[in-house]
Amino acid sequence: MEPWVIATGLIFVYLLATIVLGAVANRRMSVDLEDFLLYGRKAGFIVLYLTVVATYHSAFAFLGSGGFFYTHGIGFWAAGAWTVLVGAITYVLGSRIWALGKTFGYITPADLLADFYESDAVRVVAAIVSVLFTILYIQVQAAGLGYILSVASGDRISFELGTLILLVVAAGYLIAGGLRAVYWTDVIQGVWMYVAVWAGALVLAFKLFGGPIQLWKRVAAERPDLLTLPGPEGFFTPGMWFGMVVVLSFGIVFQPHLFIRYYTAVSARTIKWLGATTPIYLMTLYIPAALVGLGGALVMPDIAIPDRIFPEMLVAYAPAWLTGAILAGATAAAMSTLDSMLHANMTVLTRDVYQRYIRTDAAQNHYILVGRLIVVALLAVGYVLSVNTFGFLVTLVSLSGAGALQLMPAVLGVCFPGRRLTTSRGVIAGISAGLATLCVTLIIVPHPLGLHGGVWGLAVNFVVTWVVSRLTPAPSDPTVSRIHGAIERFVYEGDPA
């Protein structure tokens, strides 16, 4: 049997397993919108941990980071502090989001914001930001999936067809089983991804160089530029790296797929354990990615698309069965985030748009049907974007996070009570100014003073939000007492009943 048949066959075996899990999840699902969208708020630590880390690490980690190490060297680690910051954010902020969701029944980020700020306009703005910038992330995953299947098949399956096949599978099990199907498949995908990245990197390191230490010595001798921290020129300014830390931590947390996961936990204790342990998985996955990227710079110095370095090296130098198993892990990495993105956008559009403004009193099964139809529409949009546009995966993830980051002042105003309240008009003005600044600092005057455009947008957002909030009416006293009171009770008394 030809190697490409074995490698591609193993990927399809994996896809079949996810479809089966989706079918089983469908049989366990009740006709209840909260069950379909939030797993019934019953996610324990192991399931939540694996779905969060699998969702955070995607085609970006499996393909994009290897391509970044290949092109720019170990400077990528300079932004690795975001993995630790994610844990701290989850522990402190995530537990407060959970408490509010548990107390008031929130399902989307916009539910929390619109309730506190007493504003449908805030709901609409938050929903637009959530969907718009998450679609960029869907493009990243879809592009990664197309790369994987086309490389595994020796380009017998085109990038476009590979993208379509894997998008359809991810959308299929989401439609069948809702968030339960996403969580169950993510448990497998989180484990498979981690094992596959390490196994592939070590096999290649030992086969091509005699081991990781020998690989490192070869890089030091032949490409020492890859082992130096980036200089202050161009993209690699300290401000850019600081910006990446902020964008890849706060920016991703404020995207709906991570935000919604906080709502699904069974307890605050689960969220806090999640925050304490998530950085271990996230950071250690970049060690094998560095081995692949640095080693690939030596053995394949002229590859056309750096993000394809891992699958290209596997196909060229690893046994077919191992290549298939590892590329199935790469597929898991992309699909574990793709399914979450599709679910999050479906949840926002169903809850914040359709249920709120189009059909307010329909039966639960009607909203579930609408959600499933929205997934189909999102699949089509993601496919069109992935096959018609292209950019480095890391760059697209950074842009996606920079957009969602503009929700930060609004969320902090809800979750951290203070003497000066943030207002609905302040939030809307701040987000608008932040997004406008983001466009200017990305397109017209890219990264002024060497500072990442996402940080410029956030800084302007905070200033405008603060100024406008000082001049406009605050949320009503009953609402502030109700929501900030719930936060204070949670901080001092623990989990709400």
Counting residues of the chain whose pLDDT is more than 90, the rounded percentage is 41
123 token code pair: 């709901």
Q: What are the backbone dihedrals phi and psi of residue 121, each rounded to the nearest 5 degrees, phi first?
A: -65, -40
Q: What are the backbone dihedrals phi and psi of residue 433, each rounded to the nearest 5 degrees, phi first?
A: -65, -40
> Which of 189, 164, 163, 184 minimizes the C-alpha distance to 173?
184
Q: Are 277 and 163 in contact (CB under 8 A)?
A: no
Cα–Cα distance for residue pair 184/326, rounded to 1 Å: 20
Q: Give the pLDDT mean for 62-79.
A: 77
Q: What are the backbone dihedrals phi and psi of residue 178, each rounded to the nearest 5 degrees, phi first?
A: 60, -150
> Which of 234, 250, 251 minimizes the C-alpha distance to 75?
234
Quick one: pLDDT at residue 79? 56
Q: What are the backbone dihedrals phi and psi of residue 207, each rounded to the nearest 5 degrees, phi first?
A: -70, -40
Quick one: pLDDT at residue 234? 47
pTM of the model: 0.87
The greatest distance separating any two alpha carbons of the chain, rounded to the nearest whole angstrom, comes to 73
CB atoms within 10 A of CB 309: 25
Quick one: pLDDT at residue 462? 97
Cα–Cα distance for residue pair 491/497, rounded to 1 Å: 14
pLDDT above 90 for 422: yes
Q: What are the backbone dihedrals phi and psi of residue 211, each rounded to the nearest 5 degrees, phi first?
A: 135, 165
413 token code pair: 């105003």
pLDDT per residue as tens digits for the range 331-369: 877 787 788 888 888 999 999 999 999 998 899 889 989
Cα–Cα distance for residue pair 337/182, rounded to 1 Å: 9
Query: Average pLDDT, whole number, for the chain?
Result: 86
Cα–Cα distance for residue pair 271/37, rounded to 1 Å: 18
Quick one: pLDDT at residue 497? 55
Quick one: pLDDT at residue 142? 75
> Residue ranges of the domains in the chain?
3-398
pLDDT per residue as tens digits for the range 295-325: 999 999 988 888 788 888 988 898 888 888 8
CB atoms within 10 A of CB 239: 17
Integer CA distances (angstroms), 450 to 406, 441, 453, in order? 20, 10, 9
pLDDT above 60 for 393: no
pLDDT per residue as tens digits for the range 375-391: 999 888 878 877 765 55
Cα–Cα distance for residue pair 484/117, rounded to 1 Å: 12
CATH architecture assignment, domain 3-398:
Up-down Bundle (1.20)
Q: Which residue type sits at 423?
A: T
pLDDT per residue as tens digits for the range 241-266: 788 888 888 988 998 988 999 999 99
Confidence class for position 395, pLDDT limits 50, 70, 90: low
Quick one: pLDDT at residue 216? 93
